[in-house]
């Protein structure tokens, strides 16, 4: 199964968990803008994986450069989203940030797992086998 199908499956599972949590707790644990955060994370994860995949297809030796570049891009976008929310809205900032980072770590962990599972065989040197 390719990455994007796995991303859709992972997103559906996380979305169902978020929806259930929101249904049962209301806005006590889940911020009202959680679905915007969720969509943002899905898009950023797909873009970061795409950049990393391009890096492997062009140059196996510099995979780390492309991977860390995509992670830096993800982090800059994430910090920008947090700052924009905190400066424009003055309600539930802590809840927003905590919800954001839960999603951030879930999707980052998924991306790292997928990259290691998909690219580890391609990144091995011929003399290491």
Contact indicator for 55, 45 with CB cutoff of 8 Å = no
- N- to C-terminal Cα distance for the chain? 25
Where is pLDDT greater, at 54 or 45? 45
Q: Strand, helix or coil at 90? A: coil
Contact indicator for 67, 44 with CB cutoff of 8 Å = no
- DSSP assigned state of 60: G
Where is pLDDT greater, at 13 or 2? 13
pLDDT tens digits for range 98-108: 999 999 999 99
pLDDT tens digits for range 52-81: 888 878 877 777 888 888 889 999 999 999
Record the pTM.
0.83
Q: Phi, psi (5° rounding) for residue 91?
A: -125, 135
Q: How far apart are CA 51 and CA 71, in angstroms?
A: 10
Can you give the pLDDT at residue 27? 84
| Percent share of the chain, pLDDT over 90 | 49
């Amino acid at each position: 199964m390719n990455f994007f199908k796995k991303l859709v499956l992972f997103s559906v599972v996380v979305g169902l968990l978020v929806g259930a949590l929101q249904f049962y707790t209301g806005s006590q644990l889940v911020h009202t803008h959680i679905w915007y955060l969720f969509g943002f994370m899905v898009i950023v994860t797909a873009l970061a994986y795409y950049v990393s995949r391009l890096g492997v297809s062009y140059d196996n030796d510099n995979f780390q450069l492309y991977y860390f570049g995509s992670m830096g891009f993800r982090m800059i976008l994430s910090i920008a989203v947090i700052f924009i929310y905190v400066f424009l809205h003055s309600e539930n900032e802590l809840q927003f940030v905590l919800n954001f980072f839960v999603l951030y770590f879930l999707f980052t962990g998924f991306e790292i797992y997928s990259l290691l599972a998909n690219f580890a065989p391609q990144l091995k040197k011929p003399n290491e086998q």
